[in-house]
Amino acid sequence: MHIVIVDPSRVVLKVVSGILTPQGHKVYAFTDSREALVFLSDNEAVDALITSLETTPISGLELCWQARLVAEARRPLYIIAMSSLHNVRNLGEALDSGADDFISKPPSAEELQARLRAAQRLTALQRDLIRMAETDPLTGLLNRRAFGTRIGEAVERLGPHGALSLVLVDIDHFKAINDAHGHDVGDLAIQAVAGEIARDGGVAGRLGGEEFGLLLPGQDAIAATEIAQGLRQRCQALIVKAPRAPVRLTCSLGISEWSEGETVDGLMKRADIALYDAKATGRNCVVTSRTDFVLAKTG
Ligand code: GH3
Ligand code: MG
Ligand code: MG
């Protein structure tokens, strides 16, 4: 596991690290609880926190609470509180503050290792559940809900000069593919397009039947349009193997670049209008919504 340990004493940190490192755990030790929290927030790989209750500047209880908020439902995080005062009040407060377990300090090697084995079983299960809840089973891309959450997070992370674009992709006349070749071949076409969307380095999701989203953090509308054009061309070049005859397809794409103060719904809506425009003006093209609502068609 990737474990953050927090304790005001370097001796305790050394003892605990000495127990965990030989077991193959990656240990990050902190005497400062605020630094530990920042590290934990920035490093998704961290899946366990062992904190003393006697930490500064953030108390151990507060750290448990804050760490729980950071992890939310997005990633597994097993929290073990540790105190030299092993009494019922401390135990209750720690568990109520988001800790999963409580150990006395300094912990015995055997006890700590056993508790971490339990933690490992639980976090592996949680990781699987989170992945299943976020993934579209046909394509392996994010599902609609998880994709929406990622947009919200990307908007939150945007600095004052940051760029973020959203591309919506919809297979053209997909119903005709299903009708001519059957639902299974339709599924293969969906998977093929999903594979192309996943190659562009953004956050890719399947929003519904044959409609996809590609979120491009750091890309403005011009850069996103270029990426979308490449994607459109790759989709046009796809050949889906089918029993009757190989299937060719095209996609229409709509783009919106996030503008200051805009909501996630607003961003989605503009990309959707652009996509609708791409459909209305001939399909197999990219339409880019400008923030002043002028639509630009390319391809
Ligand atoms: P347009 O160019 O305007 O997008 O036309 P279209 O035919 O692609 O769009 P329409 O919305 O009329 O049809 C989408 C079809 O996609 C209807 C539905 O039966 C089919 N569909 C939805 N989900 C799946 C799926 O998971 N697999 C398959 N094979 N078909 C699906
Ligand atoms: Mg379609
Ligand atoms: Mg559609």
Give the residue, by CA position, lying nearest to ligand 1 atom 25: 209
Note down the domain range covering 216.
144-294
- Which tokens go with 139? 């394509």
Atom 26 of ligand 1 has which residue's CA nearest to it?
Answer: 209
Q: Of the ligands numbered here, which is closest to the C-alpha atom of 276?
A: 1
End-to-end CA distance of the chain: give it in Å, rounded: 48
Euclidean distance between CA atoms 162 and 218, whole angstroms = 6
Q: Residues 96, 184: one domain?
A: no
Domain presence at residue 219: yes
Residue 163 belongs to domain with CATH number: 3.30.70.270
Considering the candidates 210, 211, 257, 262, report the single residue annotated as catalytic.
210
Ligand 3: distance of its center to the CA of 171 in Å? 7
Please report the pLDDT score of residue 85 as a whole number.
75
Domain count, the chain: 2
Instruction: Kindly state whether residues 179 and 252 are assigned to the same domain.
Output: yes
Query: Taking the CA of residue 228 as centre, how many other CA atoms within 13 Å lie in the half-sphere pointing to its CB?
Result: 38
Considering the domain architecture, whether residues 168 and 290 belong to the same structural domain is answered as yes
| Residues, the chain | 299
Q: How many angstroms is it from 5 CA to the middle of ligand 3?
A: 49
- Using pLDDT thresholds of 50, 70 and 90, give the confidence band for residue 175: very high
- What is d(CA 79, CA 93) in angstroms, rounded to the nearest whole number? 13
Q: Which of 76, 104, 133 is the last residue of a domain?
A: 133
Over residues 207-218, the pLDDT tens digits come to 999 999 999 999
- The three-state DSSP-derived secondary structure of 68-120 is HHHHCCCCCCEEEEEECCCCHHHHHHHHHCCCCEEEECCCCHHHHHHHHHHHH
211 carries an active-site annotation: no
Residue-level pLDDT at 129: 93
Interval 215-230: pLDDT, tens: 999 999 999 999 999 9
| Residue 88 belongs to some domain of the structure | yes
Q: What is the DSSP letter of 173?
A: T
Please tell me the distance between residue 172's alpha carbon and the centre of ligand 1 in angstroms: 9
Residues 159, 261: one domain?
yes
CA dist 41 and 14 (Å) reads 23
